[in-house]
Amino acid sequence: MENIVEADIKTFSYGEDLILKNLKISIKKGETIVLTGSSGCGKTTILRLLNGLIPSFYGGNLNGNINLLGKDISSYKKGELAKYIGNVFQNPKDQFFCDIVEDEIAFVGENLGLDEEILKRKVEEVMNLLEITDLRKKSIFELSGGERQKVAITTTLIYDTDIIFFDEPSSSLDYTSIKKFEDILLKLKKLGKTIVISEHRLYYLKEIYNRLMYIKDGSIKEIFHEGTLNNKKCKELELRILNEKELISNKETLSTKSIIEVNRINIYQGENVLIKDLTFDLKEKEIMGIIGANGIGKTTLAKSLCGLKEKYLNVSYGNSKKERLRNSYFVLQDVDAQIFFDTVENELIFCKDKNSTNDFEDIRKYLKEINLWNKKTSHPQKLSGGQKQRLAVITSFLSNRKLIILDEPTSGLDYTNMNIISNLITEKAENTSFIIITHDLEFLFKTCHTVLMIDNNYYKKINISKNESIIMNFINKK
Instruction: Write the pLDDT tens digit of every residue in 356-411.
Output: 556 788 899 999 999 899 889 988 887 877 788 889 999 999 988 999 999 989 87
| Overall average pLDDT of the 75-94 stretch | 82
For the stretch 29-60, pLDDT in tens is 999 999 999 887 889 899 999 998 888 888 88
Window from 192-196, 256-260, 334-338, 416-420 with minimum mean pLDDT: 334-338
The residue among 448 and 167 whose pLDDT is bigger is 448
Q: What is the mean pLDDT of the chain?
A: 88
- Asked if pLDDT for residue 453 goes beyond 90, the answer is yes
Cα torsion 140, 143, 146, 147 to 10°: value is -60
Confidence (pLDDT) at 223: 96
What mean pLDDT do residues 148-169 have?
Answer: 85
From 135, 143, 103, select the one nearest 120 (Cα to Cα).
103
pLDDT single digits (tens) 159-194 = 778 899 998 888 767 777 788 889 889 988 998 999
Per-residue pLDDT at 147 exceeds 70: yes
* pLDDT reported for residue 353: 47
What does the pLDDT read at residue 354?
A: 54
Give me the percent of the chain exceeding a pLDDT of 70: 98
Residue 153, pLDDT score? 85
More confident residue, 281 or 116: 281
Residue with the bigger pLDDT between 452 and 169: it is 452
Domains of the chain: 3-244 (3.40.50.300), 258-476 (3.40.50.300)
pLDDT for the residue numbered 460: 94
Question: Model confidence over 276-285: pLDDT tens digits?
Answer: 999 999 999 9
Give residue 294's pLDDT. Answer: 72
Average pLDDT rounded to a whole number, residues 113-138? 88
pLDDT digit string (tens) for 198-248?
A: 999 999 999 999 999 999 999 999 999 999 999 999 999 999 999 888 899
